[in-house]
């Protein structure tokens, strides 16, 4: 993989994307946002019933639930297996470390599994506020180390990949950092609209009116995940990977939209990733909102195709 630098896409459909964003905003009018509800249990119940911001989860028969042993107890995972698998993708869901499950993205993960020729292991890490940092990071590290030891026997492939969305992208980078030298076993990382500075980048602080996540929402998520920590304490490299030494990390593809309050997180993290000598791709999508690949948008289909191509290349014979 080459150090391809920064590309901007989606300009050809920017007007249509703006219209689609407006339609999404209108469809959600009147629905309270997570930070407005305040109770994480109630927010999770609304999401499971399809009353949240994102589409209700659909369970596919191709998914199988199991558990991986972890230091905090068994970690639930949902697996998707393909007969022609060349590798195994560890996937970490988003949800502000407070929402989401391993079962919340079956259609997306099954599409990736088939197109990229990989088996997928979706991780149901422990959620805040019941389990604040570092519980989620510990669960993700434990699953990653289990894959290092068992992927070949369990899935018939030992070419490992890691991917995450939003808080999941944050946990993916923390997982690689926690693995140290063993991170080299992962051939690539797909990091979608991740949050990498939990003390808040400029775009996070200026995102009050953004769709699907906003400055008030991010502050609420941080209060759940990192209760009582000051902004300075949140800059600890073990919490905010933007401040970590990222030398020796696997190749990574960062994706973010221009209308995402986490825009700066990807811009800054990709720059540090590249400066550390790691192969780096950064794609900035015109008019893309946070989580845009989860919605029926033209830019979403393009992004999923690019992700599957990137991951397929990473596990191809070299």
Task: Give the residues across from 7 on adjacent strands.
Answer: 283
Q: Under DSSP, is residue 120 helix (H, G, I), strand (E, B) or coil?
A: strand
Q: Is the peptide bond before 129 cis (omega within 30 degrees of 0)?
A: yes
Which member of 106, 117, 133, 166 is catalytic? 166
Closest by CA to 266, choosing from 184, 187, 162, 189, is: 189
Distance CA(204)–CA(216), nearest Å, equals: 9
Note if 260 is an active site residue.
yes
Return the axis-axis angle of helices 167-179 and 135-155, rounded to nearest 10°.
Answer: 70
Instruction: Name, in order, each residue with C-beta under 8 angstroms of 12's C-beta and a sequence gap of 6 or more.
Output: none
Chain-centroid distance, C-alpha 64: 21
Residue 84 designated active-site:
no
Q: The tokens of 55 are what?
A: 């589409």
Task: Pick the catalytic residue from 106, 139, 197, 260.
Answer: 260
What sign does the dihedral 131-135-137-139 (CA atoms) show? negative
Smallest CA-to-CA distance from 178 within 188, 186, 167 is with: 186
Alpha-carbon span 12 to 14, nearest angstrom: 6
Q: Which residues contact 126 (CB under 8 A, 6 or more apart)?
A: 72, 75, 135, 136, 139
Helix, strand, or coil here: 306?
helix
- Alpha helix segments (H runs only) across the chain: 14-27, 34-37, 40-48, 106-116, 135-155, 167-179, 202-205, 215-225, 263-275, 298-315
> Which of the following is catalytic: 170, 199, 290, 294?
290
Q: Is 187 helix (H, G, I), strand (E, B) or coil?
A: strand
What positions carry a catalytic annotation? 166, 260, 290
């Amino acid at each position: 993989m080459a150090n391809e630098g920064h590309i901007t896409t989606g300009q050809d459909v920017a007007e249509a994307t703006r219209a689609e964003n407006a339609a999404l905003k209108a469809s959600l009018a009147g629905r309270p946002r997570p930070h407005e509800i305040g109770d994480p249990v109630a927010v999770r119940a609304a999401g499971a019933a399809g009353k949240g911001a994102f589409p209700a989860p659909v369970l596919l028969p191709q998914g199988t639930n199991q558990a991986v042993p972890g230091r905090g107890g068994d970690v639930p995972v949902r697996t998707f297996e393909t007969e022609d698998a060349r590798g195994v993708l560890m996937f970490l869901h988003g949800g502000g470390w407070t929402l989401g499950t391993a079962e919340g993205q079956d259609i997306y993960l099954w599409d990736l599994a088939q197109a990229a020729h990989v088996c997928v292991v979706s991780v149901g890490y422990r959620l805040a506020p019941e389990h604040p940092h570092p519980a989620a990071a510990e669960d993700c590290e434990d699953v990653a180390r289990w894959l290092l030891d068992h992927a070949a026997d369990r899935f018939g492939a030992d070419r490992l990949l890691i991917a995450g969305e939003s808080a999941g992208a944050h946990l993916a980078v923390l997982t690689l950092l926690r693995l140290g030298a063993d991170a080299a076993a992962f051939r690539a990382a797909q990091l979608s609209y991740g949050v990498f500075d939990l003390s808040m980048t400029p775009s996070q602080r200026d995102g009050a009116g953004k769709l699907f996540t906003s400055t008030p929402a991010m502050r609420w998520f941080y209060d759940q995940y990192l209760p009582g920590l000051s902004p300075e304490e949140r800059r600890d490299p073990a919490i905010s990977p933007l401040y970590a030494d990222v030398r020796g990390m696997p190749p990574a593809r960062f994706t973010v939209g221009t209308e995402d309050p986490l825009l700066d997180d990807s811009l800054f993290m990709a720059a540090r990733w590249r400066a550390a000598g790691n192969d780096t791709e950064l794609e900035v999508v015109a008019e893309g909102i946070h989580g845009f690949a989860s919605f029926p948008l033209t830019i979403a289909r393009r992004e999923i195709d690019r992700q599957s191509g990137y991951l397929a290349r990473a596990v191809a014979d070299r």
